[in-house]
Structure 1
């Protein structure tokens, strides 16, 4: 018969081992790909969609396969491009990231779309994104990042209209 002390000991060992495995895979991920300049645009009440941007620099060819978020039901990779003077946006199934070449997600180009926001994205908040990558040999790894929410500035955002 197993004692409570033995059960507790096994349980704690399992937690430590699992935590260590998660930490190691996260550390390995950071050795492969560096993610910086991450930010998400502020959204407004009632707005169900948001966007996030960042830069990737990888030591090897990898592919961004999936993104999960604590604030959105789904996250998709999108690309905006001009075709015949018309701005078009299309979803990408995945995003190849070449070794030693910066891949930039920025407004007007590649970006992450956050759908069915649970709450508005407010300046000063930070959202959690978990990115799943795959390598050439088929192994996958996850990397979790905190993404600060910033106000997007543009001429159209200026609410100080001048009336004559």
Structure 2
């Protein structure tokens, strides 16, 4: 009888833990939580813009690519200073260490949407699919509907230069 009660208590605790887990953890096998996602609005004739967010991988993962029907090319990019020159380049993958939040932000890592099929209007949204790879090499996808704005949600400054 004691064993049955312990088993019931364990099952109850496990069920409560799963019920309280963030929904984003369950959305992908790579168990990556996405927070604060947004994409910068563009104007007529502008062919590229960026998308930004915070990514937290429960068990560690790699962001190996991004996809969006709104752009002809979607890449994971890095911006960094090399001497006195700001350089931007595509990266083959972005490591997401277990339990650590990696911020994709203006002036740093970000998702670049190039060859836009139409301008991204403020207060609309853009579909973006993130493709992750776990430690065993298995890929999983997380589909997002990312709000479009002129700055980060919550009124935070999107980009601040410090000289």
Pick the TM interval, shorter chain: 0.7 to 0.9
Aligned pairs for 1:32-51 within 5 A: 32-51=31-50
The higher radius of gyration belongs to 1
TM-aligned CA distance change 1:65 to 1:145, over 3 Å: same
> CA RMSD, aligned part only?
2.0
Gaps of 5+ in 2: 1-24, 152-156
Q: Within 5 Å, which residues of 2 pair with 1:1-164?
A: 27-29=26-28, 32-152=31-151
CA distance in 2, matches of 1:126, 1:30: 25
In the aligned structure 1, how far is the partner of 2:110 from the partner of 2:158?
18
**2:30–2:140 Cα contact (<8 Å) kept:** no
Asked if 2 retains the 8 angstrom alpha-carbon contact of 1:30 and 1:143, the reply is: no
After TM superposition, the runs of 4+ consecutive aligned structure 1 residues lying more than 6 A away are: none
- TM-score of the pair, normalised by structure 1: 0.74
TM-score calculated relative to the size of structure 2:
0.74
Deviation at 1:66, TM superposition (A): 1.5
